[in-house]
């Protein structure tokens, strides 16, 4: 999946990096991670009264709403109390046990194997829990537990006090995870959605294999009305335990090993939220409302469309049949075999080929009125689908997907296995894109571009396509066994996205974007609220929260570091071996490391090194002290808010460095493996300076002694080209981070910044603007007008001549457009007269041309933002927003509309985007983010979020990326005690579901960090700005 944050990726000058990821379209970021032991497993040890057990994962209740449930409030109170009762670990996470939790990855061969980390603490806790549970079990269990034929003996390690199902009977399973005794082999799914009543009927026939004798079949089902269950053509009753979205079919006798057929028929509503089998609508250019139905299953929503074994390791084959009205088309993962006329009111049934073996979250189907263009490449027909009005905007995506498919086929040495690949732009879609096998779904913004689009706009579309295509191998062909290793999917797809674009579309200058992504990942991972790359997850909310910066961006960053450390070609060789070994099956992190270790036997123990990067949260700060040719190195955890003292995490760091005699070419790079807390290295000769972390390929921050910093700064002042641009950007990034940590004074930061007047390269300039912009906005939000205006002067002084020298003509280099966009957006935001005049001039020309003039795409947002500050400009933009069919432009118009300083307009746009009436609901996170950037809106946005919290969480599930983005936008610019208290009070007033969210911990930590920074640096700013 791709989170929706990509959509901010080209913001620089005026943006804060730390709070909002630019790249991820999918999800979360921040703190906290679960307890070592899944406390939910203990729940059966307590006697739970059925009245108490109303815990329902939030996302499921969104679907229930579609089925007519209305009293959310009561439900939510129940949710809290029962979650407390159940001891749900999501509600009960303790950061102190975090490091021990990380390597819990047990799943096979039996649920009873709790392979906790080797750390003794974890083992200790496990033993303790087992002892307690044994006691509870002996005390409470029904007698069946210990009989040979008893209650799931082979599967249930903990509990045998069963929850109460909906009917009042005992539900025969006691774990959020399904038993392993029964595996699905094949599904036949027949669906008939009715797009008038927004309901659907379904029949699913599942061939199951009984591996261990059992009296029960347990599978997932959520928010559906099950009409009939048959097993081997005999009807059976079923039990449902809604809190865990499970149903059970109980048999009087043990089922013998063998293959059977389970059939379930059911009815449900098409979902009103963005997951499951959901309904979406849009208004076409003729003003007619059109409806469609599409799916979004990852991570846990396939169970909302058909009863299934909804865990990634239960791979199976699928045949989908779709009944639809003749005016629609239907699409699914596989090619269509045939269409049958049903002779009932013009209904037709499409049948699709049997799928490859895959996980449930990758199943997809769509019923809509779409147009497409296709092309054959290798042995695959690639098609891009969009609503008819936008059918001319699919060509770039089609060409791009074909080129990337050829690249990946060659790179992985395994051909994409299906004969077709559809890419579909869905009008209302919350994620950025979703890699369903053979049927990738996108937001319109991430797939469609007009013919006139610049490479600047194409960069986003290319990135998202490259990401989703990489998933066809990483994720679809080889899948993580459980969501704790989500990074295997997402980190890899993110890394491959940059690598493939660098190879196939070198004109897109994607390296600058990837560098920013690494900086962003560092900023997130520096917080105490971060979590290890591979972290224990159990509850639905924990699974949702895994779609975050750590899984995606840190995952990609550590893969880059590994590739840069291995010898040429080894990384690819190991990856190919991994894909071949685990083709169509499931893996854990260690499987990848083992494959890579095998190819790099002589040079590096990959498992040993990489484990240190996946089991600890955070990253190391490397401190370098040089005395002549003797260099001492030490590492410690870079933790911005080390309130509980430092921990003793150690990383195996492949430290790279260059010196003054050779510093630009890759061949200059030297490597030293720092595995201990401290070590030293002897240089062969005298050097003037050393720069560590060559090209910022490594995921760590470097601090030098005073002499080390000043040698580097002097070298840059003498010759700005003495280092590659990534290294210069990293020096800027690191020194700001070190100043936040209190390791360097702000005066030193400003000292480094002096060199920037001679800088012309995009990466260091945009990094500097981004860092200064963050500080400016904090000062602005504190109403420290004096310092804010001095910061404005400082920025103009250091960047003014570059700002003035920018043209307003069409530009073709993406790197130059990125820089120009950052410079001019800042210049206009700071009301630089030349910039605002030029912007107004371009806007007037655009109006005069009846909106046909092409404003250079990298300048469009800046131009529109300036224009939106007048009533007339704002109205013109709103009118264009409503009528434009070009989504890239529309988004820029929307950002401009949301940047207004007029409070009435701010209120209007917040309300409209939340209720989805005139502004698409999917854009609410972007709207609130934009409103929060300026002084006029940010306090109002905070109040708006508080007042509308219930409504917001009905639309966007708790833990989802959208919620994370909303909370970050509204809180990350507070830097006073009053605001801290207010944020704390608000979220604690929500009870466990509010205050325990990882993003809330991150928000609080960020405010505290802002306060500390201000306390420490206000004086310096007063003196030195
Ligand atoms: Zn993804």
Of 126 and 14, more confident = 126
Residue 106 contacts by C-beta under 8 Å, 6 or more apart in sequence? 113, 114, 115, 116
Ligand 1 centroid, distance to 435 Cα (angstroms) = 7
Residue positions counted in the chain: 1025
DSSP letters spanning 128-160: HHHHHHHHHHHHH--GGGGSTT-TTTTT-SS--
* Separation of CA 466 and ligand 1 centre (Å): 10
| Angle between helix 833-848 and helix 785-805 axes, rounded to 10 deg | 60
- pLDDT value, residue 255: 95
**Hey, what are 764's tokens?**
């260091």
| Span 575-617, pLDDT tens digits | 999 999 999 999 999 999 999 998 886 678 899 999 999 998 9
Average pLDDT over residues 25-46: 28
Confidence of residue 94 (pLDDT cuts 50, 70, 90): very low
Helix (H) or strand (E) holding 348: strand 347-352
Q: In this predicted structure, what is the pLDDT of residue 1021?
A: 84
- Both structure tokens of 675: 């595995």
Segment 136-141 mean pLDDT: 42
Q: CA–CA separation, 29 vs 1000, rounded Å? A: 10
Query: In angstroms, rounded to a whole number, what is the distance separating the alpha carbons of residues 916 and 923?
Result: 9
Backbone angle region of 399, left / alpha / beta, with phi > 0 → left and psi within -120 to 50 → alpha:
alpha
Gap from CA of 741 to ligand 1 centroid (Å): 32
For residue range 176-215, list pLDDT tens digits in order.
999 999 999 999 999 999 999 999 999 999 999 999 999 9
Per the DSSP assignment, residues forming a β-bridge with 208 are 184, 260
Q: Mean pLDDT for the chain?
A: 85
Residue 386, strand partner residues:
371
How many angstroms does the Cα of residue 832 sit away from the middle of ligand 1?
40
User: Span 609-630, mean pLDDT?
Assistant: 95
Lowest mean pLDDT of 245-254, 426-435, 675-684, name the range.
426-435
For 343, how many CA atoms within 13 A lie in the half-sphere containing its CB? 0
What would the pLDDT profile of 708-717 be if each residue is shown by its tens digit? 999 999 999 9
Measure Cα distances from 878 to 867, 871, 873, 913 in Å: 11, 11, 9, 13
Contacts of 1002 (CB under 8 A, 6+ apart): 29, 30, 31, 524, 527, 529, 968
What distance in Å separates the CA atoms of residue 260 and residue 430, rounded to the nearest whole number? 38
Residues 810, 816: Cα–Cα separation, whole Å:
11
Per DSSP, 543 falls in state: H
Mean pLDDT of 823-827: 95
Classify 918 as helix, strand or coil. coil
960, containing H or E segment? none
What pLDDT, in 10s, does the model give residues 993-1014?
667 788 899 999 999 999 988 8
pLDDT digits (tens, 9 = 90+) for 658-672: 999 999 999 999 999
Name the residue with tokens 């571009």: 449
Residue 272 CA to ligand 1 centre (angstroms): 23
Q: Are 249 and 268 in contact (CB under 8 A)?
A: no
Best-predicted range by mean pLDDT among 67-71, 558-562, 1013-1017? 558-562
How many Å lie between the centroid of ligand 1 and the Cα of residue 275?
A: 16
Are 1011 and 980 within 8 A, CB to CB? Answer: yes
Q: Around Cβ 946, how many Cβ atoms within 10 Å?
A: 16
Mean pLDDT for the stretch of residues 896-920:
94
Tell me how far the alpha carbon of residue 587 lies from the centroid of ligand 1, in angstroms. 17
pLDDT band at 106 (very low <50, low <70, confident <90, very high): very low
Position 30 pLDDT exceeds 70: no
The reported pLDDT for the residue numbered 430 is 84
Strands 678-682 and 630-637: antiparallel
pLDDT of residue 4: 61
Query: Which one, of 119, 266, 141, 247, lies nearest residue 199 by Cα?
Result: 266
The DSSP annotation for 191-258 comes to EEEETTTTEEEEEEEEEEEE-S-EEEEEEE--S-EEEEEEETTEEE--EEEGGGTEEEEEEEEEEPSE
Least reliable range by pLDDT among 242-246, 565-569, 955-959, 992-996: 992-996
- What is the DSSP code string of 418-441? SSEEEEEEESS-SSSEE--TTEEE
> Rounded to whole angstroms, how far apart are CA atoms 549 and 522?
9
pLDDT band with cut points at 50, 70 and 90 for residue 644: low
Expressed in angstroms and rounded, the spacing between residue 432 Cα and the centre of ligand 1 is 9
* pLDDT score for 429: 85
Q: Distance (Å, rounded) from C-alpha 205 to C-alpha 183?
A: 14
**Is the distance from CB of 898 to CB of 940 less than 8 angstroms?**
no
C-alpha of residue 544 to centroid of ligand 1, in Å: 13
Residue 823 has pLDDT above 70, yes or no: yes
Q: Report the SS3 class of residue 673.
A: strand
Mean pLDDT, to the nearest integer, of 29-48? 28
Residue 642, pLDDT above cutoff 80: no
Q: What are phi and psi of 266, to 5 degrees?
A: -160, 170
As a whole-number percent, the residues of the chain with pLDDT over 70 amount to 84
Residues 6+ apart with CB under 8 A from 831: none
Average pLDDT estimate for 802-825: 94
- 352 Cα: distance to centroid of ligand 1 (angstroms): 25
Q: What is the largest CA-CA distance in the chain?
A: 88
Q: What is the mean pLDDT of residues 432-450?
A: 95
For residue 274, what pLDDT band results from cuts at 50, 70 and 90? confident
Sign of CA dihedral 816, 822, 825, 829: negative
**717 CA from centroid of ligand 1 (Å):** 42
**Catalytically active residues, by annotation:** 468
Residues whose CB is less than 8 angstroms from the CB of residue 785 and which lie 6 or more positions away in sequence, other chains included = none
User: How many DSSP H helices and E strands does the chain contain?
Assistant: 32, 29
Residue 54 in this model has a pLDDT that exceeds 80 = no
pLDDT over 50 at 73, yes or no: no
From ligand 1's centre to the CA of 2, what distance in Å? 4
Which pLDDT band, with edges at 50, 70 and 90, does 98 fall under?
very low
Half-sphere exposure of 175 (CA within 13 A, CB side): 21
> What does the pLDDT read at residue 816?
95
- Contact (CB, 8 A) for 132 and 199: no
* Contact between residue 803 and residue 827 where contact means Cβ atoms under 8 Å apart: yes
- Minimal CA–CA distance to 245: which of 221, 216, 280, 209? 221
Task: Write down the pLDDT at residue 784.
Answer: 86
Identify the pLDDT of residue 90: 28
Report CA dihedral (47, 49, 50, 52) to the nearest 10 degrees: -110
Provide the β-strand partners of residue 654: 673
What is the tens place of the pLDDT at every residue in 941-962?
A: 999 999 999 999 888 878 888 8
List, as one string, the DSSP characters of 555-607: HHHHHHHHHHHSPTTHHHHHHHHHHHHTTTSEE-HHHHHHHHHHHTTTT--HH
The C-alpha atoms of residue 722 and residue 727 are separated, in whole angstroms, by 10
Task: Quote the pLDDT of residue 21.
Answer: 29
Query: Is pLDDT at 145 greater than 60 in this prediction?
Result: no
The arithmetic mean of pLDDT across residues 777-803, rounded, is 91
Check residue 954 and give its pLDDT.
Answer: 82
At residue 525, does pLDDT exceed 90? yes
Ligand 1 centroid – CA 473 distance (Å): 11
What pLDDT, on a 0 to 100 scale, did the predictor assign at position 345? 82
Q: Considering the chain, what percentage of its residues have pLDDT values greater than 90?
A: 70
Q: Average the pLDDT over 689-701 and give the result.
A: 97
Q: What is the mean pLDDT of residues 225-244?
A: 96
Cα 494 to middle of ligand 1, angstroms: 7
Cα 25 to middle of ligand 1, angstroms: 8
Asked if the model's pLDDT at residue 724 lies above 50, the reply is: yes
Residue 972: pLDDT over 50:
yes
Q: Which residue has the higher pLDDT, 963 or 123?
A: 963
pLDDT of residue 688: 95
């Amino acid at each position: 999946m791709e989170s929706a944050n990509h959509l901010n990726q080209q913001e620089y000058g005026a943006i804060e990096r730390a709070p909002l990821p630019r790249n991820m379209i999918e999800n979360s970021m921040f703190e906290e991670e679960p307890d070592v032991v899944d406390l939910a497993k203990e729940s059966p040890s307590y006697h739970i009264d059925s009245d108490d057990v109303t815990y329902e994962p939030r996302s499921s209740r969104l679907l229930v709403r579609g089925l007519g449930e209305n009293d959310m409030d009561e439900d939510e109170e129940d949710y809290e109390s029962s979650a407390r009762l159940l001891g749900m670990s999501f509600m009960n996470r303790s950061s102190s046990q975090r490091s021990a939790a990380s390597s819990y990855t047990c799943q096979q061969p039996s649920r009873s194997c709790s392979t906790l980390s080797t750390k003794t603490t974890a083992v200790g806790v496990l033993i303790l829990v087992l002892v307690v549970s044994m006691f509870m079990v002996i005390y409470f269990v029904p007698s069946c537990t210990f009989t040979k034929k008893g209650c799931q003996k082979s599967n249930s390690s903990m509990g045998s006090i069963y929850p109460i199902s909906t009917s009042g009977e005992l539900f025969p399973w006691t774990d959020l995870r399904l038993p392993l005794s029964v595996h699905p082999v094949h599904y036949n799914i027949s669906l008939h959605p009715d797009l008038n009543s927004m309901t659907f009927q379904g029949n699913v026939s599942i061939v199951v294999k009984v591996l261990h004798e059992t009296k029960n079949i347990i599978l997932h089902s959520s928010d559906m009305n099950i009409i009939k269950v048959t097993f081997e053509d005999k009807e059976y009753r079923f039990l449902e335990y809604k809190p865990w979205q499970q149903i059970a079919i109980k048999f009087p006798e043990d089922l013998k090993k063998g293959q059977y057929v389970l059939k379930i028929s059911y009815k449900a509503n098409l979902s009103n939220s963005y997951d499951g089998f959901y309904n979406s609508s849009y208004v076409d250019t003729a003003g007619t409302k059109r409806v469609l139905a599409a799916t979004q299953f990852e991570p846990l929503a396939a169970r909302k469309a058909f009863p299934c074994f909804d865990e990634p390791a239960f791979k199976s084959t699928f045949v989908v049949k779709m009944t639809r009205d003749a005016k629609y088309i239907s699409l699914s993962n596989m090619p269509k075999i045939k269409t049958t006329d049903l002779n009932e009111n013009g209904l037709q049934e499409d049948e699709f080929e049997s799928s490859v073996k895959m996980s449930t979250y990758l199943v997809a189907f769509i019923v809509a009125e779409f147009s497409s263009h296709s092309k054959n490449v290798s042995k695959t027909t690639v098609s891009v689908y969009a609503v008819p009005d936008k059918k001319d905007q699919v060509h770039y995506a089609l060409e791009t997907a074909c080129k990337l498919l050829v690249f990946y086929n060659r790179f992985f040495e395994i051909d994409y296995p299906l004969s077709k690949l559809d890419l579909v732009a869905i009008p209302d879609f919350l994620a950025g894109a979703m890699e369903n096998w053979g049927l990738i779904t996108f937001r319109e913004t991430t797939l469609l571009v007009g013919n006139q689009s610049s490479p600047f706009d194409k960069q986003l579309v290319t990135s998202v396509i490259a990401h989703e295509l990489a998933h066809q191998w990483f994720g679809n062909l080889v899948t993580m066994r459980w969501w704790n290793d989500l990074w295997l999917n997402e980190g890899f797809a993110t890394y491959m996205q940059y690598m493939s674009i660098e190879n196939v579309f070198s004109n897109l200058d994607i390296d600058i974007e990837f560098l920013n992504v690494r900086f962003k990942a560092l900023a997130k991972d520096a917080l105490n609220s971060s979590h290890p790359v591979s972290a224990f997850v159990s509850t639905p909310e924990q699974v949702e929260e895994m779609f975050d910066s750590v899984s995606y961006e840190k995952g990609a960053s550590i893969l880059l570091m590994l590739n840069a450390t291995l010898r040429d070609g080894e990384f690819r060789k190991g990856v190919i071996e991994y894909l071949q070994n685990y083709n169509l099956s499931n893996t854990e992190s260690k499987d990848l490391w083992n494959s890579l270790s095998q190819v790099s036997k002589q040079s590096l123990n990959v498992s040993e090194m990489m484990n240190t990067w996946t089991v600890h949260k955070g990253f190391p700060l490397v401190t370098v002290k040089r005395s002549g040719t003797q260099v001492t190195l030490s590492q410690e955890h870079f933790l911005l808010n080390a309130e509980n003292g430092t921990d003793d995490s150690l990383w195996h760091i492949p430290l790279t460095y260059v010196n003054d005699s050779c510093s630009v070419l890759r061949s200059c790079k030297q490597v030293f493996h720092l595995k201990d807390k401290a070590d030293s290295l002897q240089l062969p000769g005298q050097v003037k300076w050393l720069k560590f972390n060559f090209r910022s390929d490594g995921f760590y921050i470097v601090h030098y002694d005073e002499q080390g910093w000043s040698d580097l700064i002097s070298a840059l002042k003498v010759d700005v080209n003495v280092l590659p641009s990534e290294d210069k950007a990293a020096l800027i990034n690191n020194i700001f981070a070190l100043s936040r940590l209190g390791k360097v004074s702000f005066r030193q930061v400003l000292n480094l910044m002096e060199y920037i007047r001679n800088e012309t390269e995009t990466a260091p300039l945009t990094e500097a603007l981004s860092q200064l912009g963050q500080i400016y906005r904090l000062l602005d939000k504190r109403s420290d007008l004096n310092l804010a205006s001095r910061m404005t002067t400082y920025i103009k002084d250091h960047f003014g001549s570059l700002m003035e020298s920018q043209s307003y003509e069409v530009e073709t280099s993406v790197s130059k457009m990125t820089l120009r966009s950052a410079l001019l957006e800042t210049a206009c935001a700071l009301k630089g007269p030349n910039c605002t005049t030029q912007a107004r001039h371009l806007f007037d020309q655009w109006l005069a041309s009846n909106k046909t003039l092409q404003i250079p795409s990298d300048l469009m947002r800046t131009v529109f933002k300036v224009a939106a500050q007048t009533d007339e400009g704002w109205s013109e933009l709103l009118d264009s927003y409503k009528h434009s069919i070009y989504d890239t432009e529309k988004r820029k118009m929307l950002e401009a509309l949301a940047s207004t300083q007029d409070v009435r307009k701010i209120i209007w746009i917040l309300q409209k985007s939340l209720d989805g009436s005139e502004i698409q609901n999917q854009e609410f996170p972007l709207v609130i983010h934009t409103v929060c950037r300026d002084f006029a809106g940010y306090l109002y946005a905070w109040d708006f979020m508080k007042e509308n919290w219930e409504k917001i969480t009905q639309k966007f599930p708790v833990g989802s990326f959208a919620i994370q983005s909303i909370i970050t936008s509204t809180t990350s610019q507070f830097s006073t005690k009053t605001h801290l208290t207010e944020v704390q009070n608000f979220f604690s007033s929500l009870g466990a579901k509010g205050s325990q969210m990882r993003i809330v911990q991150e928000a609080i930590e960020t405010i505290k960090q802002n306060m500390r920074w201000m306390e420490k640096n206000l004086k310096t700013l007063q003196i030195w700005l």
